[in-house]
Structure 1
Amino acid sequence: MTLALDAAAQDLLFREAQTANTFTDEPVTDEQVQAIYDLVKYAPTAFNQSPLRLTLVRSEEARKRLVTHAMGANGPKTLTAPLTLVLSVDLDFHEKLPHLFPAMPGVKDAFFSEAAAREAAGTQNATLQAGYLIVGIRAAGLAAGPMTGFDFTGIDKEFFGDGKQKSFLVVNVGKPGADAFYPRSPRLTFDEAAATV
C-alpha cells in the first residue's frame, strides 16, 4: 500500500465506518467533542477561515424543538441519539479573519465585504470543515449520523433568530446501537470517478 495510515486506521476512518442510524445511550462528553474539534480545526480552508459553528443539542427541550423540523425517520433517530450537532455557517466569520490570518490584514475587506460573497465562501468552507468533523468523530471511536432531511430555515428561526448563522447539516453522534448500519451501497470506482488530462 502507498498510504501512510495503517490498515486498522484506514478501516476505522473509512472502510468500516458508516452512517449510524441507531445509538446506544452511552453519553458523548463535552471533553470528547472538544478533542474532536481540536483535531479537525486544522482542516484546510481558504484564508484559514473557520466559518463552521457547532450547536450541541443535549437537553430534551432543545431536542424536541429540533425534531419539529425533521423529515421522516430523522426525527425518531434524533430523539434517541446521545448527542446531536447542528452545523451552521457563521455569516460574520470574516470578523475573525484578522485574528486568524494576521499576515494579510486587508483580506477581510478585499474578499468578504459583500454579504452574498461572504455567505458563498462561508458555506463552501464550512461544508469542507463538516467533512473533516465526521472523520474526527470516527477517529474518536464514535459514529456519526449526518442528515440533510431537515427544514433548515425552520431550524435557523428556532435556534439562530438573529440571522447570523445559517444551518446546513444535523449530525447525530454516539456509539452505534443495534442494527445501526444499513447494507453498504456501492461506490464509484476510481476509473469511473477520475480522469487524467
Structure 2
Amino acid sequence: MTLQLDPAAQNLLFRDAHTANTFTDEPVTDEQVRAVYDLVKYAPTAYNQQPLRVVLVRTPESRERLVGHMTANNAPKTAAAPLVAILAADNEFHEELPNQFPVFPEAKDLVFGERPVREQSATLNAALQIGYFILGVRAAGLAAGPMTGFDAAGIEKDFFPDGDHSVLVVVNIGKPGENASYPRGPRLDYDEVFDAV
C-alpha cells in the first residue's frame, strides 16, 4: 500500500463511514466538538481564509425553529439527532484576515458573474472546511448526516440575522443508531474520473 494512514483509520474515515440518518440518544459534548475543530482547523483554503461559521443547535427552542425550516424528509431526523450544527459561510470573512492579505477588503464589491468575488470565495473555502469538518466528526467516532434540504433564507434570517452569512449545510451529529444508513451507492472508477494530458 502507498497510503500512510493505517487501514483501521482509512476504514473509519472513508470506507466504512456512511451518512447517518438515525442516531442513538448518546449526547455529543462540547469537548467532543472542540476536539473535532482542533483537528480540522488547518483545512487548506485560499489565503488561509476561514469563512466557516458553525451554530450548534442545543436548546429545544432553537431546535424547533430549525426543524421548521427543514424539508419534510429532513425534519424528523433533525428533531431526533443528539446534536445539530448549522454550517455557514461568513461573507465578511475578510475582516478576520491578517493585514498581509488586503485583497478581499479592496475587492469587496468586485463581481464576476452574478455574485461578488468575496462571496464566491467564502462559499468555496467554507465548503472545503465542511469536508474536513465531516472527516473530523468521523475521526471522533461519531457519524454525520449532512443535509441541504432546507429553507436557506429562513435559516439565515432566524440564526444569522446580520445578513452576512450564507447557510451551506445542516449536519446531524451523533453515534449512529439502528439502520442508520442506506446501502452505499455506486462510485465512479478511477479511469472514469482521471485523465492525463
What is the TM-score of this pair, normalised by structure 1? 0.94
SS of 1:86's partner is strand
SS of 1:154's partner is helix
Query: Percent of counterpart pairs with the same letter?
Result: 61
Determine the structure 1 residue equivalent to 2:21. 21
- Do the aligned residues in 1 keep the contact of 2:81 with 2:174 (CA within 8 Å)? yes
1:114-125 matched pairs, under 5 angstroms: 114=110, 116-125=116-125
Q: How many Å apart are 1:181 and its aligned residue?
A: 1.0
Q: How many Å apart are 1:105 and its aligned residue?
A: 4.4
Q: Structure 2: which amino acid aligns with 1:47?
A: Y
- Do the aligned residues in 1 keep the contact of 2:47 with 2:101 (CA within 8 Å)? no
Q: How many Å apart are 1:194 and its aligned residue?
A: 0.9
What is the TM-score of this pair, normalised by structure 2? 0.94
Q: How many Å apart are 1:168 and its aligned residue?
A: 1.1
The Cα offsets for residues 142-178 of structure 1, whole Å up to 9 and x where unpaired, read as: 0000000111111111111110211110000000001
Determine the structure 2 residue equivalent to 1:107. 103
SS of 2:141's partner is coil
Instruction: Show structure 2 runs of 5+ residues with no match.
Output: none
Instruction: Show structure 1 runs of 5+ residues with no match.
Output: none
Determine the structure 1 residue equivalent to 2:90. 90
The Cα offsets for residues 114-153 of structure 1, whole Å up to 9 and x where unpaired, read as: 4811111000000010000000000000000000011111
Give the structure with the higher percent helix. Answer: 1
- Do the aligned residues in 1 keep the contact of 2:95 with 2:105 (CA within 8 Å)? no
Q: How many Å apart are 1:46 and its aligned residue?
A: 0.1
Measured in 2, the distance between the counterparts of 1:16 and 1:184 equals 10
Q: How many Å apart are 1:111 and its aligned residue?
A: 4.5
Q: Structure 1: which amino acid aligns with 2:67?
A: V
Aligned length: 193
